[in-house]
Amino acid sequence: MSFVTVLFVATALAYVAAAMLFSAHLRGRGATSERWATRTLGLAIAAHVAFLGTDYALSGRAPLSTMHETLAVLSLLIAVSFLATMRRHRLVVLGAFITPVTLLLFLGAALRGPVGRVPDGVRSALLPFHIAVNVLGLAAFALAFAVAVAYVIQEQLLRKRQLGGIFQRLPSLDVLDSLGFRLVTIGFPLFTLGVITGSFWAVRLGSASPTNFSAGQGFAVLAWLFFATVLLSRVAGGWRGRRAAIGTMLGFLCAMVAVGGYVLRGFGG
């Protein structure tokens, strides 16, 4: 087993442990679970950075040059953004929802298809920009997804008048609604730039016609439409709460299907 593989496995196990500790904290099992959850997530991030650094050093490739490297960076960015944002706002409990997403994306980085040559038609200075804005947008959407899941759970508990346990540990509906809106507002313009630059390259490669439109491109556009609807409906139609949360969840799931489509396309040649 190579050193890179050891680091990958260690990182994945650390994320698993962090997810379990955050889940225990959400359920109120153990007074020290929050502290250990954040420490374990910090350990996972450190191992993640070591894995990426070692992988880049041994492969000689630039960061974000392949889809699996993009997933590895995206999962790291989500974890770092969560710690930086949620600890400041004392919303560590949301780690029970965001850590599994981080783990899933990191495990997706292990699905390494053949590394093909970047077509001449898409090679330009805008390619790193296209990837970067997509990664940043998806990171914001991932946090918004976790907030939306927490909102739906909290609302269901309130409707059923189950006001103990998890209900007391989750933030209020107003806090979740406001935070979810801010995160979607951050992610949407970044993701929009990614869709625009992606469409630009699709036109240059001649793949913008309906017959050449890939499933990944289709779900990316669908994700954009969901998030656009959420923002427009909140501003113009007064959408708040459950409908906005469900729209956010559907948008993120479509974005993840789009990412999965690009990963699988790498194996198809």
Q: What is the reported pLDDT for 62? A: 65
* Residue 130 sits in the same domain as residue 180: yes
CB 178 within 8 Å of CB 241: no
* Residue 107 sits in the same domain as residue 129: no
* Residue 104 sits in the same domain as residue 134: no
* Residue 184 sits in the same domain as residue 86: no
* Assigned domain for 203 exists: yes
Q: What is the reported pLDDT for 58? A: 83
Q: What is the reported pLDDT for 168? A: 83
pLDDT above 90: residue 245: yes
Model pLDDT for residues 110-159, shown as the tens digit of each residue: 876 554 444 554 555 677 788 889 999 999 999 999 999 999 999 999 88
Work out the percent of the chain whose per-residue pLDDT is above 70. Answer: 84
> 64: alpha, beta or left, given left = phi > 0 and alpha = psi -120 to 50?
left
* Residue 104 sits in the same domain as residue 151: no
* Residue 145 sits in the same domain as residue 268: yes
* Assigned domain for 23 exists: yes
* Assigned domain for 119 exists: no
CB 167 within 8 Å of CB 154: yes
pLDDT above 50: residue 269: no
Mean pLDDT over residues 86-105, rounded?
A: 87
- Number of structural domains (the chain) is 2
Count of residues in the chain? 269
Domain that holds residue 72: 1-113
Q: How is residue 211 annotated by DSSP?
A: G
Q: Which of 72, 90, 113 is the last residue of a domain?
A: 113
Q: What is the reported pLDDT for 117? A: 46
* Assigned domain for 67 exists: yes
Q: Which of 88, 113, 138 is the last residue of a domain?
A: 113
Q: Which of 56, 82, 113 is the last residue of a domain?
A: 113
* Residue 132 sits in the same domain as residue 229: yes
* Residue 86 sits in the same domain as residue 140: no
Is this prediction's pTM over 0.75? yes
Run of H or E including 60? none
Q: Report, in this order, helix, strand and coil percent for the chain, each rounded to 5.
A: 80, 0, 20
As a whole number of angstroms, the distance between CA 148 and CA 72 comes to: 24
Query: Which contacts qualify for 20-25: CB closer than 8 Å, 24 or more apart?
Result: 22/92, 22/93, 22/95, 22/96, 22/99, 23/96, 25/92, 25/93, 25/95, 25/96, 25/169
Q: Which amino acid is at 84?
A: A
